Amino acid sequence: MPLIRSVFQDELDHVSATLLQMSEMVTTSITKASVAIQTIDLALAEEVIAADEVLDTVQHELDGRIIDIIARQQPVASDLRALITALRMAADLERMGDLAHHVAKVVRLRHPESAFPAELAPLFKRIGDAAIKMSEKTGEVIKSRDTKMAIKLEREDDEMDNLHRELIGSLANSTWAHGVETAIDLTLLGRYYERFSDHAVSVSRRVYFLVTGTYY
Amino acid sequence: MPLIRSVFQDELDHVSATLLQMSEMVTTSITKASVAIQTIDLALAEEVIAADEVLDTVQHELDGRIIDIIARQQPVASDLRALITALRMAADLERMGDLAHHVAKVVRLRHPESAFPAELAPLFKRIGDAAIKMSEKTGEVIKSRDTKMAIKLEREDDEMDNLHRELIGSLANSTWAHGVETAIDLTLLGRYYERFSDHAVSVSRRVYFLVTGTYY
C-alpha cells in the first residue's frame, strides 16, 4: 500500500513539524520571560502569560491528532513507539511553557520592583541565557535528529545545575541582606529554570530514542 | 472474536491493577516521607529513596506492556484512548513518587537536625496528612472509578493550596527567625507537596475522562 504509507508519512511529518513549532513557541516564551525578569518589563511578562494558553491548545490538538493517526493507521510497532514518544515530547514542551509562564508570573507579582537584588543581575542573565540556549538547541535536535547534539544537551543541563547551585549558595550565604520573601521568590525561580532544563533534556533523550531505539 | 476480546479485557484489567499497585506504592512513599520529616527518621527516609527506583521500574514495565497491547490488539478508538490515558496516569504516579523521594532527600540532607523549626510541626503534620489523604483517595478513584469522588479530590487540592499559602506566609512573615537556609528548604518542601497534590488531581481527572469521555 504505497499510497497509504505515503499519507501516513505525511502525517508523521506533520507531527514532527508541530513539535518543532511548539519548541519555537517555548523558546519565544522563555526568552521573553527571561528578558522580562531582567528588565522588569510587565508587558513582556503578560505576553508570556497569554501565550501559555495558545501552547496548551496546540498540544491538545496535536494529542488528538496523534491518537487519531494511531486509531486509523494501526501502525507497526516502531511507528507506534514513535507516535507515543511524540505524545511525550509534546507533554514535555507544554510543561516547559508552563515553567516560562511561572517565571513571567513572578515578574507580574513583584512589578514594579525587581524580583532579584541588583547584585544578582549577572547571575540571572547567565541563568536566562542558559535556558534560552537549551530551548533553542532542543528545537535544533527535534529538527535535525542529531544524536550527538542530543547527548551534548545533557552537558548544558550540568551548566544549569551549576548556576542553580550558585543561586542557592548566594541566598544561603550569611551575608544575604534582602530578606526571606525575596529568598523564597528566588528559590522558586531557580526551581522553575532547573525544571525547564530537565524537560529540555527529556525531549532530547526522546529524540535520541526515536533515532536509535535505545536511551543513552 | 469473543475469545480475543476477552484476552484484551484481561489485559486492560491487568493495566488497571498495575496503576492501582503504583498508587499504593506512592501512598506508602508519601506516608513514610511525611513521617520521616516529622520525626527525623533517616532510616524511613532511606526506604522512600530506595523505593523510588522500584516505582520507576514498574512504570517502565507498564509502559512497555501498554504499547505492546496497542500494537497487537489494534484497539478501537475508545479502548485506544483508555490505554493512552493509562500511560499518562502512570507518568503522573511516577512523578508523585519522585516528589515523595524529594521530601525524603531533604530529611537526609538535614539529618540529624529537623528540616523545620518546632513551631511549624503542626503545619507540617497537616500538610503531610493532606498529601497522604489525597494519595489514598487517588487510589480509591482508580479502583472505584467513582466520578463524584474524582471531582471531590479537586477540593482537597484547594485545602493543600491553603496549607501551602500558610507555609509561605509564615516564612515571609517579618518575625521569621530561622534563617534563609531553612526558608529555602521549606519553600522547596512546600513546592514538592503542592506538585504532589497537582498530580493526584491529574490522575483523578484522567479517571473521570475514562468513565465519561470528557474532562470536568
B196-208: pLDDT as tens digits: 999 999 999 999 9
Q: Which residues contact B161 (CB under 8 A, 6 or more apart)?
A: B194, B197
Tell me how far apart the alpha carbons of residues B216 and B212 are, in angstroms, rounded to a whole number: 9
Query: Residue range A111-122: average pLDDT?
Result: 96
Q: State the total domains in chain A.
A: 1
| B108: its cell numbers | 537526609
CA A1 to chain centre: 38
| Distance between A48 CA and the closest CA of chain B, angstroms | 22
Question: Has residue A144 got a pLDDT over 60?
Answer: yes
Tell me: ipTM over 0.85: yes
Residue B6's pLDDT band (boundaries 50, 70, 90)? confident
Q: Which three cell numbers stand for residue B156?
A: 482537597
Please, which pLDDT band fits residue A129 given cuts at 50, 70 and 90? very high
What pLDDT band is residue A6 in, cutting at 50, 70 and 90?
confident
pLDDT average, residue stretch A85-110 = 98
In one-letter notation, the amino acid at residue B15 is V
pLDDT at B4 over 90: no
Of all residues in chain B, the one with the smallest CA distance to A77 is B71
CATH number at residue B6: 1.20.58.220
Rounded percentage of chain B residues whose pLDDT exceeds 90: 90
Is the model's pLDDT at A1 over the cut of 60?
no
Task: Please report residues of B whose CB lies closer than 8 A to that of A184.
Answer: 168, 171-172, 183, 187
Residue A216 scores a pLDDT above 90: no
Instruction: Compute φ and ψ for A63, nearest 5 degrees.
Output: -55, -50
Domain ranges, residue B38: 2-212
What's the pLDDT tens digit per position in B62-93?
999 999 999 999 998 889 999 999 999 999 99
- Are B171 and A191 inside 8 Å of each other by CB? no
Nearest residue on chain A to B172, alpha-carbon basis = A181
Q: Which grid coordinates belong to B26?
A: 506512592
CA distance B195 to B97: 11
pLDDT of B28-73, one tens digit each? 999 999 999 999 999 999 999 999 999 999 999 999 999 999 999 9
Alpha-carbon gap, residue A171 to B180, rounded angstroms: 7
Rounded mean pLDDT of A21-37? 98
Distance CA B186, CA B172 (A): 11
User: Do B29 and B48 contact (CB within 8 A), yes or no?
Assistant: yes
Q: What is the percent of chain A with per-residue pLDDT over 70, rounded to a whole number?
A: 98
Could you tell me the pLDDT band of residue B139, with boundaries at 50, 70 and 90?
very high
Q: Which of residues 177-206 of A touch B (CB under 8 A)?
A: 180-181, 183-184, 187-188, 191
Give the minimum alpha-carbon distance from B40 to chain A in angstroms, rounded to a whole number. 22
